[in-house]
Amino acid sequence: MHDDVELFRREPANPLLTAGDWPYPVNSVFNPGAALVGDETVLLCRVEDRRGISHLTVARSADGRTDWRIDPKPLITDDPTDPSNCWGVEDPRVTRVDELDAWVIAYTAYGPSGPCVALSVTQDFNQVDHLGIVMPPEDKNASLLPRRVDGQFVLFHRPVSILSARADVWLSRSTDLRSWTTPEPVMQSRSGPWWDACRIGMGPSALETPHGWLMVYHGVKHMVATSIYRVGIVLLDLDDPTKVIRRTPSWLLGPDTEYERVGDVPNVIFPTGMVHDPRSDELRLYYGAADLTVALASANMSEVLDYLMSLPDELE
Ligand code: BMA
């Protein structure tokens, strides 16, 4: 039996962003990437239009909580002539890469062959350079480490095996962000009744801590009538990010409130954006709630790390 820990507190003003806030008609706003840009928090939101196709649009706020300003036009859209993304672009994770003086956006491009991983680069969230598809279908939930390890960029991603239907986390390496090495296994779904037994996928860009790479992931449990998406955390070895050092046994956030329980897809918390404020040590985790809105939960980074380090070492 494990103690349940309440490390994350939901923002009282949740949901932070909804379709009603958008400057043009849309169905839903969810699964946002997040970045600190100058004094502002930028969310790159997945917006599903009223055809059912998703694009990515920027919202900005001075405190990351209130007074969001939403761009009148998307930053990244589908291309109806491109079979890799003619069904839209989804679920961005945003990574600050100091070496490039830019942010790398890893997102799902969706087309008739299935979801695949695409990368784009931006210096200001006004213009983007597209690097294109880097992982073929079916693959998604890509998240880039903020710096090279042993001279190589590291991208977590989640290929799905048609044969076994397994959906686990792997990583690939690259020197130029374009050609990537054969995937190496990182972390597997648990089994049986566990909350993360069916599918897992990495969430926001990792934070580098003295104890390892701190990463949030989502885990899925299939029930008879629904699937439940919840949130866990792992610490990965700084020098060898295929090694999981700590993994939370229990979920740290699961659907509980009405906006998480009821929506286009019920019972979903899907974490895609995280920022750390070094002054307050606050971690702000932005997530999609029930595939309909954007919500926020915050925690104290030191408390999260203390909790993780109190867990058994996964390597022993
Ligand atoms: C996943 C992704 C997410 C979505 C989630 C719950 O597979 O498609 O975009 O939020 O399912 O529907």
Q: What is the CATH number of the domain that holds 19?
A: 2.115.10.20
- Ligand 1 within 6 A of CB of 90: yes
Split into its structural domains, the chain has a count of 1
Q: Which atom of ligand 1 is nearest to the CA of 264?
A: 12
Residue 9 lies inside a defined structural domain of this protein = no
Residue 160 lies inside a defined structural domain of this protein = yes
- Ligand 1 within 6 A of CB of 291: yes
* Cα 263 to Cα 29: distance, rounded to the nearest angstrom: 11
Residue 277 lies inside a defined structural domain of this protein = yes
| Residues 105-145: tens digit of each pLDDT | 999 999 999 999 999 999 999 999 999 999 999 999 999 99
| Residues 34-81: tens digit of each pLDDT | 999 998 999 999 999 999 999 999 999 999 999 999 999 999 999 999
Per-residue pLDDT, averaged over 176-186, amounts to 98
Residue 132 lies inside a defined structural domain of this protein = yes
Task: Please tell me whether the overall predicted TM-score, pTM, comes out greater than 0.95 for this model.
Answer: yes
Residue 8 lies inside a defined structural domain of this protein = no
Residue 304 lies inside a defined structural domain of this protein = yes
Ligand 1 geometric centre to CA of 117 (Å): 14
Residue 64 lies inside a defined structural domain of this protein = yes
Residue 315 lies inside a defined structural domain of this protein = no
**Which residues span the domain enclosing 167?**
14-309
